[in-house]
Amino acid sequence: MNKHFTITINDDDGVYQVNLHKFVKKIVLYFLLFLLFVALFGLGTIVYLDSKVEWIEHKRIEMQQAYMQLKIKNSDLDSNIKESQTLLDVKKRELDEISDSLSEIEEMIGLSNTDKIPLKERISETKITSEQIMTLFQFIPNGSPIEYNGITSKFGFRIHPTLGTKEFHRGDDMKADMNTPVYATADGIVELAGMHEKSGYGNLIVIQHNFGFKTYFGHLNKIVIKSGEFIKKGELIAYSGTTGMSNGPHLHYEIRFLGRFINPFSFIKWNLKNYNDIFEKEQTIPWQSLLTATANIKIQKPTQIPPSSQQVLLSKGK
């Protein structure tokens, strides 16, 4: 059996023949097959790795997109947290302002030692006391009886504009045109409504109020109530004029307590905002006794909205 084979090589120099053993042929064949296997394996590996790279890149892009979405959500959440914190700070400041305002009201109406009491209970207690204040305002003259435009002649000694003599002026002359509406400044009963012949008041209204107070409205042009009528705070009672001893249209307004003349200006500007001021300015009135007497009195429907005359805030200089 022939165990050799011949390889013939032709080139420009001639022909060459090489005799090889068949065993070498097998080695060469196996080597070529091995190289083919390595090449196919390498190609497969490359294809596999390429697909893996594409998959990893796809996953990377997905993770990057998820990261960006999460970053946006975190940014939105952070923005919401900051906005919530801002709103919380605003609400806290508002609550602090309410608490401070409530403290002022509590001090104003005589409540003390409320720091450790829950805010809800403080508000409830203050509300009850505020109802008492509104009741007090319903019974005791307060606010302006006409649309406030200033005072032409104040309470106290003055030179009488008609007589030219020095005398004590018992009230305030309030600036008013003819037929300016005049309102009651507290609940009461009409003691007098008509021409007062024995004085220079002209057409005069006198109203008796609770707890010893009276109000006088002089120089009126027209009176729309009658003696003996019960009237409510804010009710229209007359129109201003210049009757009696008067040198021009205005309203003469007096407040008396147990027959004593008191300066009406403090009562004209008396309201919830300066509630406590009156106790210092009008010390001739026994306020503590009066507050004690009215502590348990409440009315169902106090006059919530005063007439336009009482909506003007008065400055101390006027």
Q: What CATH number has the domain spanning 142-273? A: 2.70.70.10
Domain ranges of the chain: 4-71, 142-273
Q: Which residues of 24-60 are buried (b: 16+ CB within 10 A; e: fewer)?
A: eeeeeeeeeeeeeeeeeeeeeeeeeeeeeeeeeeeee
pLDDT (0 to 100) of residue 82: 87
Identify the segments of the chain with pLDDT beneath 70: 1-9, 11-13, 15-25, 99-129, 159-164, 304-318
Based on the number of CB atoms within 10 Å of its own CB, is 79 exposed (0-12), middle (13-18) or buried (19 or more)? exposed
How far apart (Å, rounded) are the C-alpha atoms in residues 304 and 129?
Answer: 16
Torsion angle of C-alpha atoms 304, 305, 310, 315, degrees rounded to 10: 80
Which H or E element spans position 99?
A: helix 22-108
How far apart (Å, rounded) are the C-alpha atoms in residues 5 and 259?
Answer: 155
pLDDT (0 to 100) of residue 199: 85
